[in-house]
Amino acid sequence: MKKLAMYVFIDALGWEIYERYGFLKEMALNERKLRTTFGFSSAADPSILSGRYPDEHTHWSCFVHDPQNSPFRGMQILAKLPGFIFDRWRVRHNISKLIKRIHSYTGYFELYTVPFQYLPYFDYLEKKDYFIPGGIMATDTIFDWCVDHDIPYYCSNWRHNEEQILHENKQVISEANAEFVYVYLPKLDSVMHNNGPYSDATKAKLNDLETKITDLYRFAQKLYNEVSLYVISDHGMAPVTGSYDIKSVVDRLGFDFGKDYVAFYDSTMARFWWKDTRVKAAVLDTLNSLDCGYVVSTEELKRLRVWFPDPKYGDSYFLMNEGLLLNPSFMGLKVIPGMHGYHPDAPNSYSIMLSNREIPADIQSITDIRKTMESELAK
Ligand SMILES: [Zn+2]
């Protein structure tokens, strides 16, 4: 009796998009709206694989304030060179590749648009690839669990493109040896970032994914007696309705970046580390007067399970309202039509689980996905 648990991960396939356009409806799969974790994919993906919240698995944002361990020390000199050379995306991407090679990082690494003069204040979190066993230091992942339980599995190579990934999964399934495959499909996320979640491009991409997933599932059915299909995602995607230049608001207060405070401007939130309590009070006062977002309290950070005793991710967080972007930010210099990273309870933040199996009532959050994996594989 050969059984396969096939988990198809679709980056950013949110509940709202599913409600609007439908997905794999012909297969009449069971459906569940799942709550995501606060933050970006760098927090949500480890939450799925570990079945734990960020305050337990310790992965949250990619850039952390840690000048002592910064791999970018000395890079501020690049800021003195003409910006038209170094600020181009391709050039920054090549510098990212070089840093990655020098430091032997195996995880996803990108410099985005973090200004060179600020880079030495930060360290980069994802040095190791957490899709391979031992990738998360603080806890195990489902892949560690498979190794411990001698379960043959296959996890897609996220460095490859979607076509390659599907081909490689088919290859693995054709051998009918793996009991668990993690099919990683990243493309919908970029389609929605660039076109907006409610767009013809999204609809076309969903049709394309439906065909490909149905094909892979039917193929697996020929080789296995039983195939459990789960379609999962990390978070949704909100349509962008406007932007606000938080960095200029803070800059205008005239404090010294590095001496008075340090800030990291993500696409949907600004994080601050304070060197001076008067500066903290002045900046927070100003931020509290804005209506584009709010300063998240410590109590709420704890409730959202993203509070850490070591403030490497930030002392204070300013979160934008759903649909608003920080622009410019350290993650990009233009306003794009779709974004995620808002409050987990914002309507477009919710993620999804679809399955040809019953989904137990206690599966409510992306941190519960792992429970379904373990129970599938324990049978
Ligand atoms: Zn994304």
Distance CA 377, CA 379 (A): 6
Please give the distance, rounded to the nearest whole angstrom, from the Cα atom of residue 193 to the centre of ligand 1: 7
pLDDT for the residue numbered 118: 87
Please give the distance, rounded to the nearest whole angstrom, from the Cα atom of residue 225 to the centre of ligand 1: 36
Please give the distance, rounded to the nearest whole angstrom, from the Cα atom of residue 68 to the centre of ligand 1: 30
Total Cβ atoms within 10 A of residue 108: 17
- Strand-pairing partners, residue 230, are 7, 355
CB contact at 8 A, 338 and 193: yes
Please give the distance, rounded to the nearest whole angstrom, from the Cα atom of residue 12 to the centre of ligand 1: 7
Residue closest to 16 by CA, chosen among 323, 320, 326: 323
DSSP 273-334: EES-HHHHHHHHHHHHT-SSEEEEPHHHHHHTT---SSGGG-SEEEEEPTTEEESSBTTBSS
What distance lies between CA 77 and its chain's CA centroid?
31
3-state secondary structure of 272: strand
Where exactly are the structural domains of the chain? 3-56+129-239+344-378, 74-121, 241-335
CB contact at 8 A, 7 and 230: yes
Distance CA 321, CA 305 (A): 20
pLDDT for the residue numbered 209: 97
Please report how many Cα atoms fall inside a 13 Å half-sphere around the Cα of residue 245, on the Cβ side: 7
- C-alpha torsion angle, residues 348, 365, 153, 105 (rounded to 10): 70
Total Cβ atoms within 10 A of residue 241: 12
3-state secondary structure of 182: strand
Residue closest to 63 by CA, chosen among 123, 144, 15: 123
pLDDT tens-digit map of 23-41: 999 898 999 999 999 999 8
Please give the distance, rounded to the nearest whole angstrom, from the Cα atom of residue 339 to the centre of ligand 1: 7
pLDDT for the residue numbered 83: 59
Please give the distance, rounded to the nearest whole angstrom, from the Cα atom of residue 267 to the centre of ligand 1: 11
* 289-319 core/surface letters (b: 16 or more CB in 10 A; e: else): eeebbbbbeeebbeebbbbeeeebbbebbbb
Residue 260 DSSP class:
T
> For the domain 3-56+129-239+344-378, what is the CATH superfamily, name and number?
Alkaline Phosphatase, subunit A (3.40.720.10)
Q: Which amino acid is at 268?
A: T
Please give the distance, rounded to the nearest whole angstrom, from the Cα atom of residue 234 to the centre of ligand 1: 10
pLDDT for the residue numbered 60: 92
Q: Which amino acid is at 50?
A: S
Two tokens at 16? 């709202």
Distance CA 152, CA 139 (A): 21
pLDDT tens-digit map of 118-132: 888 888 877 677 788
Residues 6 or more apart from 280 whose CB is under 8 A from it?
261, 272, 274, 315, 316
Of the options 3.40.50.300, 3.30.1360.110, 3.40.50.720, 3.40.50.450, the CATH number for the domain spanning 241-335: 3.30.1360.110
Please give the distance, rounded to the nearest whole angstrom, from the Cα atom of residue 313 to the centre of ligand 1: 20
Please give the distance, rounded to the nearest whole angstrom, from the Cα atom of residue 186 to the centre of ligand 1: 9
Q: What is the pairing mode between strands 351-355 and 324-326?
A: unpaired
Residue closest to 110 by CA, chosen among 89, 131, 130: 89
pTM over 0.85: yes
pLDDT for the residue numbered 196: 98
Please give the distance, rounded to the nearest whole angstrom, from the Cα atom of residue 187 to the centre of ligand 1: 9
* 33-46 core/surface letters (b: 16 or more CB in 10 A; e: else): ebbbbbbbbbbbbb
Please give the distance, rounded to the nearest whole angstrom, from the Cα atom of residue 348 to the centre of ligand 1: 13
pLDDT for the residue numbered 233: 98
Query: Which regions of the chain are under pLDDT 70?
Result: 74-75, 77-89, 103, 105-109, 127, 379
